[in-house]
Structure 1
């Protein structure tokens, strides 16, 4: 049932309204009444309704002001105005607020019931339409992701604005910055207003707006790009925010929308190099050459500056690296991930409260890859490194000479069959006592520290070489590759092969 609120400063009218209509028979329920507009607004905020029937002339706050304020909260609320005044000015204002009906007092029971039935029918139709639109968007998303075929669109073909057998199609993605509090602006209206080809607009999907267009057979990619340049200009004017548009390939069948969408998705990463307020297609980036770089020297400098705790020079150096115009999107992500792993290594060596333990490292990398602009990536990294330096400043630890020597031995000979017993013999110390001292000073057992070192070294080889995973396992001292996989995943939250995939992103 739909919910109703009655508002009138005359209690007899409120009581009469409750009795003259058989509310439940027409699918309605009166859940609250109010004798003034101020109380009505407070009640609505606590418990919203679908329909408000209100007197127009009330003390302090009028019925028209009540409508204005409730419409500001929810523009879908339906209103019926009751009035003892047959004045055009009242009716004109009511029309401005899209009031459903204007009924003169004394109230005609049949007229009111007829108005209510009409509203109920309208809301039922709106509900069905909304459900159909949601189903349409869901199916379109499934289709462009290749999860359903063309037959899956047959049930909603009557509400799709693009034909299923057109000659040309594109899928494009529009990414927005902050919208400057203009959420009430309808993006679909702006896009459709500039559309000379048919289109579907899917809003708020994966943080972007997806536009699916159909085109005439003679339309070229140049025509498509001119169209989206116009869309970009209009969106910039209306929304006052940064915009990036990735235009997918122009395909010759609706069955190839998945291919077009894949291209549009890949183009999003070029916001890192081309900046915001760009509109790109695959041809625009085809001349950008792959720039393979290991960044080993840069990571050495960053490692040195972190160890020296030189925050000022570290920030300047990070800024210098990211100001390099020759970096490709892959370079930026590659360098960024290596910086995070460098920070992880130092965090481990300095025993800094497990900053990047287990899933935390994976989550940090995911957060990093979700940053969409070069400046945002740079800011993210500087923030992470500042936190690392802060932890280093408050957690500087001095180890006893023998423990320092054992740590050095592990770092240099981690790939050998090291044990606490053999090291204890080497330093003429009881192995049980040495184990207790080691755990007390480092907070972890010798075996945990050894496995940690092996994993760190393995991670460096995964990121900086093309060695096979099996060979890396042997290089760091694991004879059983499956055992290495288990230990590595337990330590980093991702298996070695997944880490290599992230590196090659």
Structure 2
């Protein structure tokens, strides 16, 4: 409904017009009546009309004075003047203020209604034009924002950037931060819908607004820039403390940067979280430098034995040990993930009859793990599934269980073999033992013993760095043949024993 105000110093005309016009049929509402221009201004201050129908000649403040004063404050109000033939000069003055509609007194309902409808048509046309302009401006703004957002995504995700992108980022950091900024990363560590991540992003920008953050949402990560200062670090710490009870997320802040070309990618920022626990706050003083080499060996056979014996805790401890060693050596997350994915695939190859995992899907999932603890959690669940799945199959026979126990006890015995075990411990036919072992364990007895001994060699060498190769060979059952031990070790592990004992 369009609001109408009537102004005339003659009460009869005011009452007459207000009563004869069917306001609702014209999509209008009469909101007030005034006897002069001053009263009209007071009413307009209380409730601004869309249309004012006013007389020209009035005491106090006439129609010309009213429109002159009101135009400054209410430029969008439309005017209809009531005038007599003798007031034509006044009407010409009103035209200077954009007044286009006049009614000659006396006028009837039809004339007044036609004038109102004409004004309403004009208002609607202007509103449509304004909406169109607003829509165009909104689209232009969204387009500009989208272009900037895409540029930020390229900056943080792609290795090779165009010269235009590099230059744009350089100019942006110079203008916004006067070449003193930090990279920041907020990583949401639980599944959330995209709109929830966006809401969290807005909360971050609002909380850190004094540091002028510029961020972009990439999957579950909010990454960008902010003006560097000690206050930024403290405010981010307080934000983390205030909100991590309702949402699991970690924060990474870089050291001070002075040039937009000093780029840190999203993956580089995420790498700093790899050896941290979930819900971490990582200021620049706690960043680590990663090593690009490692002598970590994978205790596959040891884990297999524990799983065959349904010892999930012991099997998981082997994984935890590998993770702990990589964390101590600050192995690059890419290399660490490669080791742990290899461990998963090797373990699955030992259980080919247990199709409990979609291996390609798991590898893809592991590559996206942010924290190393996610691998530990996954292996814990995997071991439980393998053992549970195994319960549905025939359990290890008592004789194979005994064979595994003797391997653990006698791996340092150079005489350990299938024949020796059959003759000296189990007192059974060696051929029968070999067949049942291969059937239940999936590999020959001699192969299993060799792999187990090599895994034990790795374990001993990592604990006793001063041990000699010949001593190590003797400890794990290779007797006086360290050369054969070294050749076999390298063939299985890809390294020589001396590279573990004396890493370069």
Q: Scaled by the length of structure 2, what TM-score is found?
A: 0.47
Which one has a bigger Cα radius of gyration?
Answer: 2
Q: Scaled by the length of structure 1, what TM-score is found?
A: 0.47
